Amino acid sequence: MEQLRFDVPLGTCTVSVAPESIGIFKGMGTHYLQLQIQLGMPGLGAEAGRLLYLETTLCAPLTGGQVVPLAAANMSVPFATTDGICRATPQYLITNAQLLALDQYRTGDLRLELHIRGFLPQASGYPGGSEVVEHIAVAESRWRQQLAGLGRTLGVEMLIPFPSGDEPRQAVANLLREAQRLLGGNEIDSAILQIRKALEEIKLMSGWKWPPNSTDKNDRTADQRWAVIRGALEHQASGAMHGDRGTKDHTYSRVETETLIGMTAVLLSAVP
């Protein structure tokens, strides 16, 4: 338990965080971590007013004493209570990559720090206090349970860079960017057509030779296997033209289109 100390005669306020109050929840395109701060107000005098403003930053301590900020949350807490106890429930937006990094660098229990500053906007004189740090330890079993509760929304992220500058692969990257633009306007079939064009360009520039029909799969060279993979992607993208029996009644989704863009970008990075 820490204390927010204010100038005399404003008084003090105790601060504590219960590790069991920490939870991770699904957001829209991200996650948010929620915890509960318990505030003890009896130490605040009448001169402090009836409103406490909190500035909080959730941090992750690393080896060597370094502390990395994760997210911040600010809130106003009225404290006209009979028992002198108030509770605040801040929420911190946490990205997929941050959650995975927290778990990767964790050894046993998860260690977090909550940096808190308090202000009394209704008080006279200087309303601010010094910063306090609440150290939080989340049991490993509870942390694993929280991550499991996120289900498929928590996944491994990969950065797939598109070539830039005057590289020979720039034309393919431009086609993929156009596919992304069209997908943003929900023009799915048109986006997939750009992907198909990109795959045709990869065929010309890669030098990957299609294996002879008589070649056993296990005897194919690495280049021949890449050629088969590229051909399979092109075949899938061709389905958006609805010109074959297998896909004439199929409507491609955004997820399928995003997958084709990502797979083509990865394939482009493998071109010699």
CATH number at residue 122: 2.60.40.150
The pLDDT of residue 197: 94
The total number of structural domains that make up the chain: 2
Q: Which residues are paired to 32 by β-bridges?
A: 25, 93
Cis peptide upstream of residue 9 (ω within 30 degrees of 0): yes
Q: Indicate whether 111 belongs to any domain.
A: yes
Least Cα distance to 112 among 153, 62, 148 occurs for 62
CB 22 within 8 A of CB 42: no
User: Which long-range contacts does 243-250 make (Cβ < 8 Å, 24+ apart)?
Assistant: none
Same domain, residue pair 95 and 205: no
* Whether the model pTM is above 0.95: no
The pLDDT of residue 10: 84
The pLDDT of residue 196: 94
The pLDDT of residue 111: 93
Least Cα distance to 26 among 77, 74, 91 occurs for 91
Q: Indicate whether 250 belongs to any domain.
A: yes
* Spatial strand order in the sheet of 37-40: 2-5, 12-17, 37-40, 85-88
User: Which of these three, 152, 182, 217, is where a domain ends?
Assistant: 152
Stretches in the chain below the pLDDT threshold 50: none
Each residue of 16-73: pLDDT tens digit?
998 889 999 887 778 899 999 999 888 787 888 888 999 999 999 987 788 999 999 9
CB 109 within 8 A of CB 139: yes
Query: Identity (one letter) of the amino acid at 159?
Result: L
Least Cα distance to 54 among 80, 73, 81, 33 occurs for 73
The Cα angle at residue 240 between residues 235 and 245, in degrees rounded to 5: 75
Determine the Cα–Cα distance for residues 194 and 173; give it in Å rounded to an integer.
Answer: 10
Q: Indicate whether 163 belongs to any domain.
A: no
Same domain, residue pair 211 and 137: no
Q: What is the span of the domain harbouring residue 129?
A: 2-152
CB 221 within 8 A of CB 235: no
